[in-house]
């Protein structure tokens, strides 16, 4: 497991990369860049406490225990 953090707008979010591939982090960064102007996504991202990358999926975990799945490939 590779622990990194990613910065999105003004928030730094820890990322657990279970794939051990830097390409997955690049894909996640690219996907977040695409969603940067999406208002609802930015609003939800403020409450995220952790991101896990497993395979081609990024799992956004919220403080209340809910999850949001995002395909990054």
Q: What is the pTM of this model?
A: 0.84
Residues 34-67 pLDDT 10s = 888 889 988 888 889 999 999 889 999 998 899 9
**Could you tell me the two tokens for 45?**
């991202």
Instruction: Judge whether residue 2 has pLDDT over 70.
Output: no
**25-52: burial string, b at 16+ Cβ within 10 Å, e else:** bebbeeebeeeeeeeebeeebeebeebb
**Contact 43/56 with Cβ under 8 angstroms?**
no
Parse the chain into domains and list their residue ranges.
2-71
């Amino acid at each position: 497991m590779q622990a990194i953090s990613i910065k999105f707008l003004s928030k730094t979010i820890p990322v657990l990369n279970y794939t051990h591939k830097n390409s997955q982090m690049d894909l996640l960064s690219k996907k977040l860049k695409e969603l940067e102007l999406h208002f609802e996504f930015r609003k939800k991202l403020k409450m995220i406490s952790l991101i896990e990358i497993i395979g081609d999926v990024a799992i956004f975990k919220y403080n209340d225990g809910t999850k949001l799945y995002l395909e990054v490939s």
